[in-house]
Amino acid sequence: MNNIKMFHKEDFFVSKPFQCVYKSHMYEKKIFSFLPTEGGEDLYNLLIQKGFRRSQNILYRQVCEKCSSCRSIRIIINDFFQSKSQKRIRNKNKGLFNIKSIDYPSMEQFILFKKYLSFKHPESEMNEMLFEEYKDMITDSGVQSRVTEYRHKERLIACCISDFLKDSLSLVYSFYDPNYLKNSLGIYIILDHIQLAESINKPYLYLGYWVEGCQEMEYKSNFKTSEILINNSWKKI
């Protein structure tokens, strides 16, 4: 934390140990800080480079004592090139969706969000979220946050909540209709945001955390020019 010159150590807190969602036999701890209403973007810009993520108005990072499997991962936009499988996914979804970026939540989004969680993460505590809590993911961020909606014939199929930072985009959470599993929408949404980041001159796209050996996260490491944070240094996978 000695690199955070404009903020104070007393602004950071450490959670109590709780069961890890990726390794059920282990416990994790997080260090976190609240995003201030003024200067929050400066704090976010700095800490995301140090491996922090946002949840509502909180920035957090794992600080587990016996494990360092959770690695922050980002894509270098200018060096990126698609693999053959990624090209197939983009072509498969080309022209299928009407895409719109908005800065407000809706009940329609929330219903899709809950449907996705029930299918993909049925045991997650996120299933207990209320609409107001979902709303806070977008409106209580302290930075410019937007929701990209993907519609097929007016039906909402997928959404991605993202943060627009000084030199990057950060994907906060994406979700989609489980009936469209064959469309590989998780990968397609990332490809779409790579294109967006390039168009607005953002050199990095942050994908959250990657855990080696975790099947659900394996797709993140398949993006060429990905970097992971190891001992406070970004290194290519």
Q: Could you report the per-residue pLDDT of 75-112, keeping only the tens digit for each?
A: 999 999 999 999 999 999 999 999 999 999 999 999 99
Averaged pLDDT for residues 15-39: 85
Please give the domain boundaries of the chain with CATH numbers for all domains: 73-208+217-225 (3.40.630.30)
Of residues 40 and 207, which shows the higher confidence score? 207
d(CA 17, CA 32): 13
Q: Is the pLDDT of residue 5 over 60?
A: no
pLDDT at 97: 97
pLDDT level of residue 11 (50, 70, 90 thresholds): confident
| Residues 137, 173 contacting (CB under 8 angstroms) | yes
Of residues 2 and 236, which shows the higher confidence score? 236
**54-58, 133-137, 144-148, 181-185: lowest mean pLDDT where?**
54-58
pLDDT at 24: 78
pLDDT at 237: 84
pLDDT level of residue 31 (50, 70, 90 thresholds): very high
Averaged pLDDT for residues 174-190: 97
CA distances from 220 to 70, 194, 209, 211 (A): 13, 13, 9, 10
Averaged pLDDT for residues 4-11: 57
Q: Is the pLDDT of residue 19 over 90?
A: no
- Rounded to 5 degrees, φ, ψ at 121 are -135, 65
pLDDT at 39: 73
Q: Is the pLDDT of residue 233 over 50?
A: yes
Of residues 170 and 124, which shows the higher confidence score? 170
Q: Could you report the per-residue pLDDT of 143-176, keeping only the tens digit for each?
A: 999 999 999 999 999 999 999 999 999 999 999 9
Query: For all residues of the chain together, what is the average pLDDT?
Result: 91
Averaged pLDDT for residues 50-69: 91
Averaged pLDDT for residues 201-205: 97
Q: Which DSSP state fits 166?
A: S
Q: Which DSSP state fits 36?
A: P
pLDDT level of residue 8 (50, 70, 90 thresholds): low
E strands, the chain, are: 13-14, 18-19, 27-28, 30-34, 53-55, 58-62, 70-76, 98-102, 144-152, 155-164, 168-176, 204-211, 226-230, 233-236
